[in-house]
Structure 1
């Protein structure tokens, strides 16, 4: 199993932040979204928020590669529509490379 930690920012608007959390509720999220996530080899995914900063923790199958896994996910039903909706609520961190959305974080400590 592999583990990944990624970060992304939300737009600094209370209504948009509330909408982002609303769309991620278990009883609201479109069923195709978690199904597509799992179909790409992601076993668990947790998203945490403080202020406008998001942190995503993922556990994946050993074969999972971040770039190709996200590309595969983007090709699945309703994923493009979901991504377009989420893009209205999110913004790339200032330190993200031009081709990055969620930015992989580097582990610096483990206990």
Structure 2
């Protein structure tokens, strides 16, 4: 069994169909800047998925078990091109161009799990095995 932590986050886009289409293009396979994906992997993010419903985004982020969300997000903000990426995608998001990823994406609280294992908080992440 492989152990990891899971974080779920949410963010709203501007309610503009053209901007939403463009945001999807920016995140299409191979379209994200390589420095962004590399930085995420360097801080311990194993996998990340983003889903959309209307203008509401939902992110599932799986990390190494020892992941410290606050420290990792602070480190991510210093990675090459990260500030430039955040400023670029902020035009689609209901946020400011100066906001870091940790300030834009809100952690979500898990209220149900089929195989409930132990209590945790959104900031601690939720321990998982697969």
Q: TM-score, normalised by structure 2?
A: 0.76
Unmatched segments (≥5 aa) in structure 2: 96-101, 115-130
**SS of structure 2 residue aligned to 1:44:** strand
Show the counterpart of 1:56: 59
Q: How many residues align?
A: 105
| Matched ranges for 1:65-104 at <5 A | 65-92=68-95, 100-104=103-107
Structure 1 residues 37-88: Cα deviation after superposition (integer angstroms, max 9, x where no partner)? 1111000100000001000001101221222211111111111110001111
1:30 to 23, 33, 46: 33
Unmatched segments (≥5 aa) in structure 1: 93-98
1:100 Cα offset (Å): 3.3
The structure that has the greater radius of gyration is 2
Greater mean alpha carbon deviation, residues 30-39 or residues 60-69: 60-69
Q: TM-score, normalised by structure 1?
A: 0.88
Show the counterpart of 2:121: none
**SS of structure 2 residue aligned to 1:91:** coil
